[in-house]
Structure 1
Amino acid sequence: MYDLVEPLGLVPYFADESDEALLALGLRNVWDAYFAGRAAPFGRGVPPEVVHAVFYNFAPGEVARHLPRVWDLTTPEAALAAREQGCVAGIRRIVGGLADDPGLARAADLLLKAATSAPVEGRPLYAALRALPVPEEPVARLWHAATLLREHRGDGHTVALLAEGIGGTEAHVLHALSVDLRAQDFGRVWHLPAAQLDAVIDGMRARGLVGDDGWLTTDGRAAKERIEAMTDRLAEAPYHALSPAELDCLVAGLEPISAALRKVFPM
């Protein structure tokens, strides 16, 4: 299900229409658009320190460069509407005629049934999204359901990282090294000051996760595998709401949509 749902969840980050709709509100850059769109379910009054804690994997100060400043330029309500509008436009452009196929509407209803069935306790971003109105239009409904599931999984991933003692920046280093990419070349952390990134890697080396050669040790790879396994387990709950027949129908409906998105997105 992750493989089928994740391409829909990535639409705000890889389809230009989402950023374009948010930037049209007067935001300064794509990172303004990112934080305005993703943090909007919390509303205007939540301080950046709280958003930093929930998002988990941004370096200190990165959230505060955008929040609450974006709310001087637009409102959470406008950001939510623009994000949805842009994502629907992006999906329609990419999937073409599938957007109006009855199979998409059926998939949207089933995915929403799963996405709104899980407990919200311990899932702050998922809970905030659950409090939003559900779109009526099928493509918007499908994207909304996928976003709920993506953030539900993300909240669980944070739990898994915390349980393993892996900090936010460390999570990026762990992932980069697990795919044989130097942390200094990984897009989410390469911009950090070298001394800051080196200190993170040194801390992981001191805990036996990174070897003297700069790559993951056996213990480091085992930690990554435990995190991914726990993340998967914690992401299962929504799908328990579906019968086997409903799950089969959902898979069949999502497969062509996911395939169309994967042809476009760098996954």
Structure 2
Amino acid sequence: MSHPEAVARRMYDLIEPIGLVPYFADESDEALLALGLRNPWDAYFAGRAAPFGPGVPAEVVHAVFYSFAPGEVAHHLPKVWDLTTPEAAIAARERGCVAGMRRILGELADGPGVASAGDLLLKAATSAPVEGRALYAALRALPVPQEPVARLWHAATLLREHRGDGHTVALLTEGVGGTEAHVLHALSVDMPAKEFGRLGHLPAAQLTAVIDGMRARGLVGADGWLTADGRATKERVEALTDRLAEAPYNALSPSELDRLVTDLEPISAALRTVFPS
């Protein structure tokens, strides 16, 4: 079943709040830190990289995650696997995310919409080809939870990482590097690059060098903001990301897609009251 391209953008808006649960619900970090990890970034890398197993070098995770500055991943991987195991990290992350979702959703967590949305979202999430999508493929190899809230979170995470793998392709197509991607995003929403969360911790000289490189390519102007070419590049990246994110939803009929949207809307709205978009 082929749907209009706008489906991917609409589903992104509905799914992203669920996908953000590991990063903005305290329960996720708390569950991972209880394994003996040292800080929230240990928790981030252990939780997200765990599907690859313990033997994958930091350089490979850096390549797949794409958006971290050189050397950042190696501060945490493979060190975290001296403190816990990938299996324990996967279980703790799921446990914490389910607890966070239940806290935020309240009675909605046990409503029929969660189970219905989880089943439909899983149908979409497990239908797309895995070729060229390393993180999505690694997640597809994990067992599917049966508990409805966990099932919904798992399906949303699959789709978030499927989209993320495609977003990397879009950035590569436009010649935008990992750190540059954060600069591009920050400036596209009129935020100074140094104030963006994933950039503010970088040494000033390192961030300046990245921006200077983008300026030399005509993406950033002398005033420090995106040029017309820079904004056009951002728009092409987002458009291609949407196109590459369409495939999972072709598994759903129009009526299934309508029901999924109806089920997800109150869940997404509840989560958006707590998490940023």
Residues 152-177 of structure 1, C-alpha deviations (whole Å, 9 max, x = no match): 00000000000000000000000111
Matches of 2:84 and 2:160, distance apart in 1: 25
Residue matched to 1:150: 160
Matches of 2:12 and 2:235, distance apart in 1: 16
Residues 14-56 of structure 1, C-alpha deviations (whole Å, 9 max, x = no match): 0000000000000000000000000000000000000000000
Alignment of 1:155-234 (within 5 A): 155-234=165-244
Matches of 1:88 and 1:187, distance apart in 2: 25
Residue matched to 2:70: 60
Matches of 2:246 and 2:16, distance apart in 1: 14
Matches of 1:106 and 1:217, distance apart in 2: 45
The alpha-carbon deviation at position 212 of structure 1 amounts to: 0.7
Matches of 1:117 and 1:158, distance apart in 2: 20
Matches of 2:72 and 2:136, distance apart in 1: 22
Give the counterpart letter for 1:111 in structure 2: L
Residues 77-133 of structure 1, C-alpha deviations (whole Å, 9 max, x = no match): 000000000000000000011111112101100000000000000000000000000
Matches of 2:148 and 2:276, distance apart in 1: 25
Alignment of 1:107-126 (within 5 A): 107-126=117-136
Matches of 1:138 and 1:92, distance apart in 2: 11
Give the counterpart letter for 2:21 in structure 1: V
Alignment of 1:26-175 (within 5 A): 26-175=36-185
Residue matched to 1:16: 26
Q: 5+ residue gaps in structure 2? A: 1-10
Matches of 1:183 and 1:103, distance apart in 2: 39
Residues 123-148 of structure 1, C-alpha deviations (whole Å, 9 max, x = no match): 00000000000000000000000000
Give the counterpart letter for 1:225 in structure 2: E
Matches of 1:212 and 1:259, distance apart in 2: 40
Q: 5+ residue gaps in structure 1? A: none
Matches of 2:51 and 2:62, distance apart in 1: 14
The alpha-carbon deviation at position 266 of structure 1 amounts to: 2.1
Matches of 1:163 and 1:127, distance apart in 2: 21
**Deviating 4+ runs (over 3 angstroms):** none
For the aligned residues, what is the CA RMSD? 0.5
- TM-score where L is the length of structure 1: 0.99
Structure 1 counterpart SS, 2:13: helix
Matches of 1:71 and 1:197, distance apart in 2: 30
Structure 2 counterpart SS, 1:4: helix
The alpha-carbon deviation at position 190 of structure 1 amounts to: 1.1
Give the counterpart letter for 1:223 in structure 2: T
Work out the number of aligned pairs and report it. Answer: 267
